[in-house]
Structure 1
């Protein structure tokens, strides 16, 4: 398996939008997602494509910040692997990459959010050693 995690540049955002749309179940237009990702690229955010034999099969991002309760931290975000490539060990290899990459950037911890209804991801993250520390609240302004 020739697996690679390659950084996505701002000009390549349109390539990942179909995967983000599947993850988000088409909640937002491509225009809104393009606008939001373009802004994200100006912040402490990095985006990567997941490539198998040079074919884009997934996407994920990482936020970098310092938290008073966790120190320097990496937050994996919007992790999506195409359904036909799941259960092949790619997620495990992905998180090995994330831990190594974040460690090289001086991170002490990793934290993430997962949708309440995404039970398969909960099991995966618990097996990765993540612990549930709280709830994520959202309010539209």
Structure 2
């Protein structure tokens, strides 16, 4: 990457609001108000939001949880990972995954997990190159 990225956790409503335009690239169904409300709700349940800045502009976001399951033990689960469409393939996503991996290890996690929509072929290629494997199928039933 030609420029440096600054990574930090987002914890105030004002910081969350500044992240909404970029998250809308991944979650276009959420209005700004819905996004802020949902992040605040999820933060009360353990959700954390990592922000990447490049040259003073938000260039990447990663929403994640630390959890524990019978199947995986203690793990970090990535709910949301987005790099600004104008910054893709410039190392932002790799830096964010690297930060998440170090954070997960520091929290005693044995694994990192994420789901990716079946249509996101470029994201799948990125995750495979980053050392992830396709370990399962995720099934959904809308109620």
Task: Indicate whether the TM-score tops 0.5.
Answer: yes
Cα distance in 1, alignment partners of residues 46 and 140 from structure 2 = 21
Match of 2:127 in 1: 125
Q: What TM-score do you get using the length of structure 1 for normalisation?
A: 0.91
Cα distance in 2, alignment partners of residues 52 and 4 from structure 1 = 7
Cα distance in 2, alignment partners of residues 52 and 33 from structure 1 = 22
Cα distance in 1, alignment partners of residues 92 and 121 from structure 2 = 18
Cα distance in 1, alignment partners of residues 57 and 33 from structure 2 = 24
Match of 1:38 in 2: 40
Is 1:49 the equivalent of 2:39? Answer: no
Structure 1, unpaired ranges of 5+: none
Q: Deviations over 1:51-93 (max 9, x none)?
A: 1123211211111101212111001221111111111122222
Q: How many residues align?
A: 140
Q: What TM-score do you get using the length of structure 2 for normalisation?
A: 0.90
SS in 2 for 1:111: strand
Cα distance in 2, alignment partners of residues 15 and 33 from structure 1 = 11
Cα distance in 2, alignment partners of residues 85 and 29 from structure 1 = 23
Match of 1:19 in 2: 22
Q: Which one of the candidate residues 83, 92, 95 is aligned to 1:93?
A: 95
Cα distance in 2, alignment partners of residues 15 and 110 from structure 1 = 27
Structure 2, unpaired ranges of 5+: none
